[in-house]
Chain A
Amino acid sequence: MDQQQLRALEYRCIQEEPPFCTAACPIHVDARAFMAALAKDDVASARKVLDRTMPFADIVGRLCDAPCQPACKRREVGDPLAIGALEHFCVSHSKTLIKLPKLPAKGGTAAIFGAGLSGMTAALDLARKGRAVTLYTAQPTLGGTLRALVPDTLPADSLAQAQALLTEYGVTIKAATPLDPGTMATLAAACDTVYCDPDEITIHAVAGVSADLDPLTLAAGPEGWFAGSTGGSGASVIQQVADGRRAALSMERFLQKVSLTAQRDKEGAFATRMHTVVTDIAPAAVIGPADPATGYTADEARAEAGRCLQCECLECVKQCVYLQTYKEYPKTLVRKIYNNQAIVQGTRNANKMINACSLCGQCTVICPNDFPVADVCRATRQEMVATGHMPPSPHDFALEEMRFSLSEACRLSRHQPGHATSRYLFYPGCQLSGSAPEAVRRAYALLTGQLEGGVGLMLGCCGIPAHWAGQGALFAATMESLAAEVAALGNPMLIVACSSCLAIFKEFAPALKVRSLWEVLDGLDLPTPPPRPLPGCLSLHDPCTARHQPELRASVRRLCAKLGLPVTEASLGGELADCCGYGGLMQFANQPLGRESAENKARRSEAPAGAGLAYCAMCRDNLAATGRPVAHLLDYLLASPGDPDPLGRSNPGFSWRHEQRARLKRDLLAELWQETAQPRPAHTDIVLRIDQEVRDRLNSRMILEEDLQKVIEFAEASGRYLINPTNNRRLASHRPLRVTYWVEYEPTDQGYRIHNGYSHRMQLPEVRS
C-alpha cells in the first residue's frame, strides 16, 4: 500500500466526516460536541466548543438563526435539536473560556469599513492572524444594526465587550468616521486590503466596487477589495459571520500573495458524506423551555441536548467483533496497517490485528462506500509473506492441516466405481470430510444413485487457508494442481459442498464448472427421512462465504422447506452473515477473538436455547463449540435410523477432524474401489487415552493426537524422556518440524494415558547422544 492508496482508502470511510449540523453551519460549529457536553450538564465544556469556532459567542450564541437545525438528523426520528436555543442558554449561563491565540505581527494592513457583525468578524480574524487592522464605522460604537437589539435581545454590555475583545487583539477602532465613497477611497489607498460590511456600507456606491461578489472569495472588483454578501436588520446573523470569516481568509491570502481560491470547497455550509442510520432509534419530540420568555433551565437544556444522536457511522463496527475488539473503524485500521508496514526496525505492533481479520467481507457489504477491509488485510498479509515479515505462528497450524489434507493420506481423485468417465465430481471439501465423514459418504451415495453419467469423487483442500494466509505461491500451486486433476478426470462439473471452496473456485478458477451441492440436491429426489420427531425451531446460520451466493442460500431454504425443518432466519444472515471465527484463519491468529466471533454468530440465533442449523462444516463445529445445539443440514437431509441427535453432536476438534479425513479416504478406497490405501506412519497406531478436559486443552493449544503419537514414538524408541518417580509419569519432547511438543503420559496395558501436552517454538540445543 502506498500513500496514495492509503488516502484513497481513508476517503472511503466516512466516520470522521462532520455531522450534519456542523456541515450545515456556515462556520462549522461542532454542535455534536456541544450537545454531548450539555447533556452531561457540562456548560463550561459546551461554552468552550462555541468559543473555539464562534466569534463573539455572547452575541452570535444569542442571535444565530441556526441553519443547522433543518439539517439535524434527529428530524427523521422526532424534531431537530433546538440548537439555537441551547446555544442561547449556554452563552447566557457562561463567560468566554477560550481566547484563541494571536499570531505574531507580520505586516500588511487592512481596513474594514463598517462595523456590523461581518466587519467585526473580519477584523477579529485578521487581527488574530497578526495583521494590522483598522475598523472604521460612522457610528459612535460598534455593532451596526445589532446596536438596536440592546438591551432587549442583547445584554447591555455585549457590544462593549466585543469592542474590548477587538482592542485586545490589536484592532484599531475608528468610530464616528464618515464613510462616504471619497473618504473610503482615501483611507483604502493607505492600506493593502479592504473589506466593506454591507450592514453599514452600500457596496455599489463605492467607486469601482461591484456588489456582484465572487461567491468563493467575496472579491468585490478592485484588487484587494472584498465585501460581505448580506447585512442590515433581518439578515442572517451566521451568514454575516461566515462572510466576515471568508473575506478575512481571502484578505490574508491576498496579503500572502497566494491563491485566493485553492482548497476552499469545505468553507461555508456543505453536504457532508456522513452516514447515520436511525432505523433503531426511538422518536423523541423537542423538549422546549417551560417558559419561553426566560429560556431553558439547566434541567431542560440537559434533557433537550440528551436527544442528540451524536451522529456517526460505525455501521460496520456495530456488527463486527473484530473491529470492536481492536477498537478501530476502517479509516483508523488502514492507517495502522500502513504505519505497521512502514516500520523498518522496531516492533510491528499491528501484525496480530492484520492476521486476525476473518476476511469475511461483512463490513464491505454494510459500508455505504464498500470499504474493502478484507482486501486490505489479505493484500497486506501477502506483502508480509513476500517481504519476510509474516510471523510463523498465526498460520502454521492451518497450513500444515491444509498440507495434510492435500497429502496422500487424505487426498483422493477417482471416477465413480464402474465408470471410466465422470460427468460430475463430488467435492465435499476438507472440513466436512473431517467433521462429518459419514455425511460425505451418504451424500456421495445419493449423488451416484441419482445422477447419470458418472459422479467422481475428489477429496482434498481448495487451498483457501493459503489464500487467507497471504501465501500466494502456495495457493496458486494448489489451485493449479486441483485444476489439473479435474482436467485429468475429463473436466466434470464439480458438485461442491463447502461454500468457501465454491467461492474460491468461482473467483480463482473460472474455467471450472461448479455447482453447489445444495442446488444439486434441490433438484433431486430426497430420501425419505426416517420417522423421528423433527427438532424444535432452528435458526438458520448462513456462512460468511455464502455472502455473494444468493442462489446457494435460496437452495438451502428450499431444502429446509422440503424436509419440513422448522427453521427461522438468524437475526443477521444472508449477505450480512457473520463469520464463525474460522474465516481468514482468525481463530489461529487470535484465539479469544475466534471464540468471540463464534459466540457472536451463535447469539444471532432467534430459536430457543440458541438452537441452530448450519450448512458449513466449520460454522457447525465452531457454533457447537459455544455449547449451543447446532446441527448440519446434511444431518437431516441424509438422516438414517439410529443416528444420534444431530443437535447433540459436539465440536470434534482439530485432532479428530484431522484423523477422520485420513480415515475417510482409507475407508472409501476400500469400500468403493476395493483398494488399499497406503499404510499410514507407524506412530498413528499408538493408542492414546485422553480425558475430555485434556483433549479440550490440547485442542485449544492446537496440538493434534498425531503430534502426541510422534513424541511418544520418538521417546519410547530412544529412551529419552524424563520420569517422575512419585507417579511414574513420563515427560518427553519432540520437534518434528518447527514446533517442539511436550507430552506428559504414562504407559498402560493398551497404550498410553495422556495427562498433558504443551508446545513452544523456541529451539533448544540438541541433546547429547
Chain B
Amino acid sequence: MSQFSFLEATDWQCACCRQPLQPTPVRVSYLNSVFDVELMACSGCGFILVPESLAVGKMLQVEQLLEDK
C-alpha cells in the first residue's frame, strides 16, 4: 500500500495538549478502501488536521473516484 503525504506547515496547535502538530502516519478509509497517508496531527491526543485544501481537493477527488467503483 502506497503512502501519500499531505503535510503542510500550519499554525494550528492542539488546544487540549497545547502542542504544535507533527507529521503523523494516518490510516483513512472510505467505502471499503483504506489509505495510508501522512497528515499533521497532535502527538499527544492524536487530533488529526484535515486542511481545507485537502478536503475540497485531493480527498474529494478520491472520494468521488471510490464512489464510482
Contacts and interface: CB of A to CB of B under 8 A. Distances in A.
A740 interface: yes
A756 B26 contact: no
B8 interface: no
B26 A765 contact: yes
Contacts of B48: 764-765, 767
Given A722-B49, A764-B28, A764-B48, A730 B65 contact: no
Contacts of B12: 722-724, 731
Contacts of B52: 742, 756, 758
B45 A768 contact: yes
Contacts of A723: 12-15
A762 B67 CA distance: 11
Contacts, number: 88
A756 B50 CA distance: 13
Interface stretch (A165-173, A343-351, A553-561): A343-351
A383 to B, nearest CB: 15
A761 B26 contact: no
A435 interface: no
A733 B14 CA distance: 13
A523 interface: no
Interface string A724-762: 111000110100000010100000000000001011111
Interface of A: 346-349, 351-352, 391-393, 701, 719-726, 730-731, 733, 740, 742, 756, 758-765, 767-769
Interface string B5-48: 00000011111100001000011111100000000000001111
8 contacts: A346-B69, A351-B68, A720-B45, A722-B12, A722-B21, A731-B12, A758-B56, A764-B50
A742 B55 contact: yes
Contact of B50 (A347, A721, A733, A769): A733
Contact of A347 (B11, B21, B69): B69
Q: Dominant SS at the B interface? A: mixed
Contacts of B49: 722, 731
B16 A762 contact: no
Contacts of B59: 760, 762
B62 interface: yes
- Leading 4 A-B pairs by shortest Cβ distance: A391-B67, A722-B12, A723-B15, A768-B46
Contacts of A733: 50
B68 A765 contact: no
A591 B46 CA distance: 35
Given A731-B12, A760-B63, 5 more contacts: A349-B68, A730-B15, A760-B59, A764-B50, A765-B28
Contact of B28 (A722, A763, A767): A763
A723 B10 CA distance: 11
A128 to B, nearest CB: 46
B16 A720 contact: yes
Contacts of B13: 722-725
A16 B65 CA distance: 33
B51 to A, nearest CB: 9
Contacts of A701: 56
A247 B28 CA distance: 69
Contact of B47 (A347, A722, A725): A722
B2 interface: no
A759 B31 CA distance: 16
A765 B27 contact: yes
Best-buried of A392, A722, A761 by chain B (most CB within 10 Å): A722
A248 to B, nearest CB: 49
A726 B9 CA distance: 14
A725 B45 contact: no
Nearest to B12: A722
A528 B45 CA distance: 66
Contacts of B63: 393, 760-762
Contact of A722 (B14, B29, B68, B69): B14
Best-buried of B11, B13, B31, B67 by chain A (most CB within 10 Å): B67
A413 B31 CA distance: 39
Nearest to A393: B67
A652 to B, nearest CB: 24
Given A719-B16, A720-B47, A723-B13, A763 B29 contact: yes
A420 B7 CA distance: 66
A392 B26 contact: no
B15 A761 contact: no
A762 B68 contact: no
Contacts of B65: 347
Contacts of A756: 52
A81 B59 CA distance: 57
B55 A760 contact: yes
Contact of A763 (B30, B62, B64): B30
Contacts of A730: 15
A588 to B, nearest CB: 13
